[in-house]
Structure 1
Amino acid sequence: MEEVAGGGSSWPYAKKPQQHQLGRSLTYHHPYQGQGRRLQPAQRHQLPDVRAPRPAVVLYTTSLRGVRRTFTDCSAVRAVLRGFRVAVDERDLSMDAALRRELQGLLAARGRAFSLPQLFVGGRLVGGAEEARQLHEAGELRRLLEGAAGQDPAFVCDACGGVRFVPCPACAGSRKVFVEEEGRTSCCGHCNENGLVRCPACSS
């Protein structure tokens, strides 16, 4: 394992997992805030932008502490990505059962067993905590993340406070809506089983 100054490890939680666990108040979805773009004079023969799209970084995790090893692994990978200052679309399976089904389908299509966390970069499955650790120590994870959108690790979404979900605006989180034409209430079709929708301000 790679050693750093002071005899410690470069991988989070090698000795003291609790020191690097991040609160759910932090989220890593948006590019740097407050960086304006200067307008340039129009050019008659300007070439089209043919740059490759930035690879999306998606991390499937859980915020539940029921299985300590799983929670610690999720926190470790999250901390490493935070250190690279990249924007991460973090998908918390404990908040939405649809995300669990989504990940199960992705892993099944690749012949992989279900486990958390799972990291995808540019649509490519990187793997779980052990794969991410090995790539990080070999210096390969940095290469995989090249070109990804940047993110201030201290950024906190004003809309959701960093939890990445907000109450459904259609039913206010009650999961019930009143159908005037029928004069009755009906189950809301816009939110998940918890009456939540993904935050439109910080989730893709």
Structure 2
Amino acid sequence: MNAPAQPAQPPEIIVYTSAVCGYCVAAKNFLKSRGLEWKEVRIDLDPQARERMVARTRRTSVPQIFVGETHVGGYDDMMALHRAGGFERLISGAAE
């Protein structure tokens, strides 16, 4: 007899942020409104984290948002993906 299938773990969400960033707050509020959890990486407190973010994204602005290994982009990118219906698929693991 097979064991019951375990529900798929949602992909980890990572949000690179800094203290003085309205779009970072907006992005976190959106994620919270969807009942999602995320790992926040403050690049203003950790220069090495900033270097890693720039190396991964080729961007210097925040927020930079990852769902699993997928780089979503900034707040506007995430909202555009959401409006197109792609964000829900991504967080469910279907788009990875």
TM-score (structure 1 length as normaliser):
0.41
Question: 69, 79, 95: which one pairs with 2:45?
Answer: 95
Question: 11, 20, 31: which one pairs with 1:55?
Answer: 11
C-alpha spacing 1:49/1:142, structure 2 compared with 1 (3 Å): closer
The percent of aligned pairs where both chains have the same amino acid is 30
TM superposition shift of 1:143: 2.2
1:137 aligned onto 2:83 = yes
Matched letter for residue 13 of structure 2: V
1:104 aligned onto 2:54 = yes
Aligned to 2:71: 125
- 1:65-76 equivalent positions in 2, closer than 5 A: 65=20, 71-76=21-26
Q: Aligned with 1:55: secondary structure?
A: coil
Cα separation, 2, equivalents of 1:134 and 1:87: 20
C-alpha spacing 1:48/1:138, structure 2 compared with 1 (3 Å): closer
TM superposition shift of 1:88: 0.3
TM-score (structure 2 length as normaliser):
0.80
Deviations 1:56-107 (A, max 9, x none): 11111111x2xxxxx1111111111111111101111122222111111112
C-alpha spacing 1:130/1:86, structure 2 compared with 1 (3 Å): same
More helix by share: 2
Aligned to 1:116: 62
Cα separation, 2, equivalents of 1:48 and 1:103: 39
Cα separation, 2, equivalents of 1:104 and 1:122: 17
Matched letter for residue 60 of structure 2: F
Question: Do the aligned partners of 1:84 and 1:142 also contact (CA within 8 Å) in 2?
Answer: no
Aligned to 2:27: 77
Highest CA radius of gyration, 1 or 2?
1
Matched letter for residue 134 of structure 1: A
**Higher RCO (Cα < 8 Å, 6 or more apart):** 2
- Aligned-residue CA RMSD (Å): 2.2
Deviations 1:5-25 (A, max 9, x none): xxxxxxxxxxxxxxxxxxxxx
Aligned to 1:7: none
Question: Do the aligned partners of 2:12 and 2:38 also contact (CA within 8 Å) in 1?
Answer: yes
